[in-house]
C-alpha cells in the first residue's frame, strides 16, 4: 500500500514526460528527432506512445480520486476521535463527582456547580438518556447535600434524625453504586465501531 504511493506518482511522471517528449512540447524539434530516431524505429511504437498519452489523464484522475478517498476516510476517523475525546471528558467529570461523594460521604455546593459546568456540553454530545442520567446524578447530589445539612443541625428529634440518616444512607449508596454503573451507561457512546 505504501509502496503504491511512491511508485504510482513516479510512473505517472515518466509517462507524462514521455508523452510531452513525443508531442514536441518540452524539447526542441531537433533534439526530438534525434531522440525519436534512437528510441523509436517504427511507426507502431509511435501509436504505443499515443495510447499512453491518452491514458495519462484518466490515470491522474484515478490517482487524485484515490487521494481524495483517503483524505475523506482520515477526516471521518478524526471526527470520531474528537467526539470520543469530548465525550470522555464528560465521563471523567462524572467519575470525579461520584468519587468525591464516595470519599467524603457528602457533596458540597462547589462540587454540584463544578459537576454542572463540566457536564454541560453533554446535551450536544450524547442522547437524551445521558442527559437524564446526569440530571438524576445532580438531583441526588442536591438531596444528599440537604440531608447532610439537616443532620448537622440540633433541631431534629431522635425519630427525625433516624429517618434522615436512613434517607441519606440510601441516597449515598445509590450514588456510590453509580461509580460502576456509569461505565455501562456511557459505554454505548464510547465504543469505536470498526
Residues 177-192 have a mean pLDDT of 89
DSSP state of 127: -
Give the DSSP letter string of 143-192.
HHHHHHHHHTSS---HHHHHHHHHHHHHHHHHHHHHHHHHHHHHHHHHPP
For the chain, the average pLDDT equals 80
Residue whose cell numbers read 505504501:
2
In angstroms, rounded to a whole number, what is the distance separating the alpha carbons of residues 116 and 121? 9
Residues 184-188 have a mean pLDDT of 91
Q: How many residues does the chain have?
A: 194
Cβ atoms of 172 and 101 closer than 8 Å: yes
pTM, 2 dp: 0.66
So what's the pLDDT on residue 9? 61
Q: Which range has the worst mean pLDDT, 2-11, 117-126, 174-183?
A: 2-11
Q: Which range has the worst mean pLDDT, 6-10, 36-40, 179-183?
A: 36-40
**pLDDT, tens only, 43-53:** 445 566 667 77
So what's the pLDDT on residue 156? 79
Which residues, other chains included, contact 131 with Cβ-Cβ below 8 Å and sequence gap of 6+? 122, 123
Asked whether residue 85 carries a pLDDT value surpassing 80, the answer given is: yes
Asked whether residue 18 carries a pLDDT value surpassing 80, the answer given is: no
Residues 147-156 have a mean pLDDT of 83
The set of cell numbers assigned to 53 is: 498519452
Strand segments (E) across 21-116:
none
Asked whether residue 95 carries a pLDDT value surpassing 90, the answer given is: yes
Amino acid at each position: 500500500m505504501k509502496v503504491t504511493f511512491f511508485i504510482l506518482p513516479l510512473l505517472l511522471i515518466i509517462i507524462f514526460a514521455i508523452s510531452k517528449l513525443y508531442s514536441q512540447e518540452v524539447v526542441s524539434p531537433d533534439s526530438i528527432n534525434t531522440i525519436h530516431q534512437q528510441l523509436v524505429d517504427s511507426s507502431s511504437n509511435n501509436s504505443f506512445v499515443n495510447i499512453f498519452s491518452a491514458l495519462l489523464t484518466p490515470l491522474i484522475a484515478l490517482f487524485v480520486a484515490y487521494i481524495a478517498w483517503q483524505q475523506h476516510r482520515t477526516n471521518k476517523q478524526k471526527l470520531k476521535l474528537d467526539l470520543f475525546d469530548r465525550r470522555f471528558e464528560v465521563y471523567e467529570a462524572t467519575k470525579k463527582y461520584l468519587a468525591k461523594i464516595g470519599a467524603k460521604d457528602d457533596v458540597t455546593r462547589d462540587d454540584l456547580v463544578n459537576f454542572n459546568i463540566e457536564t454541560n456540553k453533554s446535551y450536544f454530545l450524547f442522547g437524551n438518556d445521558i442527559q437524564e442520567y446526569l440530571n438524576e446524578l445532580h438531583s441526588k447530589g442536591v438531596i444528599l447535600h440537604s440531608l447532610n445539612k439537616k443532620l448537622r443541625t440540633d433541631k431534629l428529634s431522635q425519630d427525625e434524625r433516624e429517618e434522615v440518616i436512613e434517607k441519606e444512607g440510601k441516597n449515598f449508596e445509590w450514588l456510590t453504586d453509580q461509580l460502576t454503573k456509569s461505565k455501562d451507561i456511557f459505554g454505548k457512546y464510547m465504543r469505536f465501531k470498526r
